[in-house]
Amino acid sequence: MGRLTAADIRARKGGEPLVALTAYDFLSARLAEEAGVELLLVGDSAAMVILGHEDTLPITMEEMLVFSRAVARGARRALIVGDMPFLSYQTGPGEAIRNAGRFLKEGGCQAVKIEGGEEVAEIVAAVVRAGIPVLGHIGLTPQRASALGGYRVQGRDLDSARKLMRDAEALVEAGIFALVLECVPAELARRLTERVPVPTIGIGAGPHTDGQILVFHDVVGLWPRFRPRFVRAYGNAADEILRAVRAYTQEVKMRRFPGPEESFGISQEVLEALKL
């Protein structure tokens, strides 16, 4: 089978739920795809998960392209979406098109994700007109977290719920192929899903969306010190890695590693010739 396209994802509206996951490197992409993940987002959350920043704002286009190329080498069928980092599109349509194009031309992606609603609809439309598929993202948009009052659920009061409705409509009109809903009340996410003609992909948005996305490290239990309420860990990779590395450390200290099976031999003749 060939690689999934943005059109394939859009055609899944109302059908079998879409499975999406973030990926930042070759191995996570390869494993996610083998497990059946259909959409891989090279998320700007790499700023926190991989680079150790406190939020997503510091990550650059150049860094995102490194991660994108690694993911593209690891996945052959999943749709790969590059997450447009902070200030890579907000400055205007021209800059947005150039940077979005780099994700396709240099990063091996097939689409990009842009955070925001009505305020970025014109930019989204310009990127789509340039032939670059766009995944929308509304609700809690981490790049605007400070303006939204922090990392909190969006759309709980009437005004903000209406704003999300307008955001969704503006992005659909701009030409998005799917829409991420982050930290939105479940019933509001249901209504948004029923209202828009493109698939919705939830993260902290309840069970009624057309698909779900989580961060790879959260799913496998590799980020144990902080777990948002909406995350369910399906593994405990952090503890297993700690166990393995501690065992390695102990065996090195006790000179049990490497053993004969990990060592290479040399003939006695060579040793004698070297007079060692």
Q: Compute the Cα dihedral for 76, 79, 85, 88 and give only its sign.
A: positive
pTM of the model: 0.93
Q: 239 in helix, strand or coil?
A: helix
Share of the chain above pLDDT 90, in %: 83
Burial of 38 (0-12, 13-18, 19+ CB in 10 A): buried
268 phi/psi in degrees, rounded to 5: -65, -30
Strand ranges (E), 125-250: 134-139, 178-182, 200-203, 211-214
**17 preceded by cis ω (within 30°)?**
no
CB 93 within 8 A of CB 128: no
- Catalytic pick among 33, 38, 115, 182: 182
The reported pLDDT for the residue numbered 148 is 58
List the domain boundaries for the chain. 6-235, 240-274
Q: Rounded distance, CA 243 to CA 31, Å?
A: 21
Domain 6-235: assigned CATH number: 3.20.20.60
User: Which residues lie closer than 8 Å to 157 by C-beta, 6 or more apart?
Assistant: none
Which range scores top for mean pLDDT: 150-154, 163-167, 263-267?
A: 163-167
- Specify the higher pLDDT residue, 146 or 180: 180
> Is 182 among the residues known to form the active site?
yes
- Specify the higher pLDDT residue, 115 or 223: 115
The reported pLDDT for the residue numbered 145 is 60
- pLDDT tens per residue, range 108-154: 999 999 999 999 999 999 999 999 999 999 999 888 765 555 567 88
Q: Compute the Cα dihedral for 21, 103, 199, 125 and give only its sign.
A: positive
Confidence of residue 215 (pLDDT cuts 50, 70, 90): very high
Share of the chain above pLDDT 70, in %: 95
- pLDDT tens per residue, range 60-100: 999 999 999 999 999 999 999 999 999 999 999 999 999 99
